[in-house]
Amino acid sequence: MAIKSCASTEGTARYRERFQTTAAADHFRRVQGIWLSSIGTGTYLGNWDEATDQLYTEAVARAVELGANVIDTAANYRFQRSERSIGAALKQLTDANVCARDEVVICTKGGYLPFDGEPPADVRRYVEETFVRPGIAQLSDIAAGSHCMTPAYLRNQLEQSLGNMGIECVDVYYIHNPESQLAAVSRAEFERRLHAAFEQLESARADGSIRFYGAATWNGFRVAANARDYLSLERMIELAREAGGPEHGFRFIQLPFNLAMPEALVSDNQPLAGAHVSMLEAARALGVTVVASASILQGKVAHNLPEMIRKPLGSLPTDAQTAIQFVRSTPGVTTALVGMSHRAHVEENLQLVRVPPATPEDYRRLFPSQAKGE
């Protein structure tokens, strides 16, 4: 039986209240009417085997126990296995009364064609049998051989994700790297497809299977405006308003942000009311919550950090903690996602639950040219 309900104001407040004596100020942030932890659990990397499945189940459950109530995944992560591991963790947590479903924020993504458990021997045959013959998608709908965002496809993928995780509602459903479509179609056709996708997601909001939606990108929000795969948040919000009216559900975006990829803060590549501003400024003005992916860039920015970075961020015990502290302390970033498939990494990284984010003053001393707002 599927676990009922979505994250709620009351539920996430209840979760936050349990950590009132241990969590630092501003570890929990209230956005879109719910409370999100400043650090969330990512589930991207890892082998497609039962041992890794179990590691992720344990890691997700432990993260929730320690004060991280944001859980992020995607249908294609580890060939649907990451979603299933999250489902197992949620069942374990709710069965043991560690938390209720409405206390945690579950985010997943649809867009890339996911395999089922492992890579198929014949990819084309798998795509045809799984998606084309049942009428879920036509070959002409699939961009670059791997990406689709038609209404029928997104409806199918959402139903699959709900089943994988054993839940009735996804809190945030992202279209996964929509900019992938721009390698195959014109911008006019892309916007037509995006509008149709938003209409489908608004329908899913109406029937209670998702609460919010958005876009999870890799390049689209970071590149220059003349790049082929560039995305304008302002334009996406216009399309969402056309699809859902002023109370539309496009309220979240996800993009890489870390010590080596600071574009969301430093690049004024987003149009906003005739001006050009950073993504973080545009999102703030447009009422969109920013979630940062790749906070430690798969470990690449979690080693040998210089003292000029470590000291303003609190001279923390590990460089991984320092890299996460940078992201969660950036004005405009609500949650820093960290891929954690081992209990030891969860326990190390979530020591930050007890540590306040860097103050705006310390942040400005760290990177004065990057700290544009508070």
Classify strands 250-256 and 270-272 as parallel, antiparallel or unpaired: unpaired
Rg of the chain (C-alpha set): 20
Is residue 123 situated within a structural domain?
yes
Tens of pLDDT along 176-207? Answer: 999 999 999 999 999 999 999 999 999 999 99
DSSP, residue by residue, 155-206:
HHHHHHHHHHHTBS-EEEEEEE-GGGGGGTS-HHHHHHHHHHHHHHHHHHHH
Is residue 2 situated within a structural domain?
no
Lowest-pLDDT range of 142-146, 238-242, 243-247:
142-146
Share above pLDDT 90 across residues of the chain, in percent, rounded to a whole number: 94
Q: Region 61-81: what's the mean pLDDT?
A: 98
Q: How confident is the model at residue 1 (pLDDT cuts 50, 70, 90)?
A: confident
Q: Quote the domain boundaries for residue 149.
A: 9-366
Is residue 4 situated within a structural domain?
no
Q: Any idea what the CATH number is for the domain that residue 232 is in?
A: 3.20.20.100
Tell me, what's the pLDDT at 373? 43
Q: Region 273-298: what's the mean pLDDT?
A: 97
Taking the C-alpha atoms of residue 41 and residue 166, their distance in angstroms, rounded to an integer, is: 18
Tell me, what's the pLDDT at 53? 98
Q: Region 74-83: what's the mean pLDDT?
A: 98
Higher pLDDT, 145 or 32: 32
Tell me, what's the pLDDT at 216? 98
Tens of pLDDT along 318-373? Answer: 999 999 999 999 999 999 999 999 999 999 999 999 999 999 999 988 865 544 44
Is residue 1 situated within a structural domain?
no
Is residue 224 situated within a structural domain?
yes
Is residue 372 situated within a structural domain?
no
Tens of pLDDT along 2-28? Answer: 888 999 999 999 999 999 999 999 999
Is residue 351 situated within a structural domain?
yes
Is residue 156 situated within a structural domain?
yes
The tokens of 81 are what?
A: 């296995």
Domains held by the chain: number = 1
pTM tops 0.75: yes
Tell me, what's the pLDDT at 360? 92
Tens of pLDDT along 127-172? Answer: 999 999 999 999 999 998 999 999 999 999 999 999 999 999 999 9
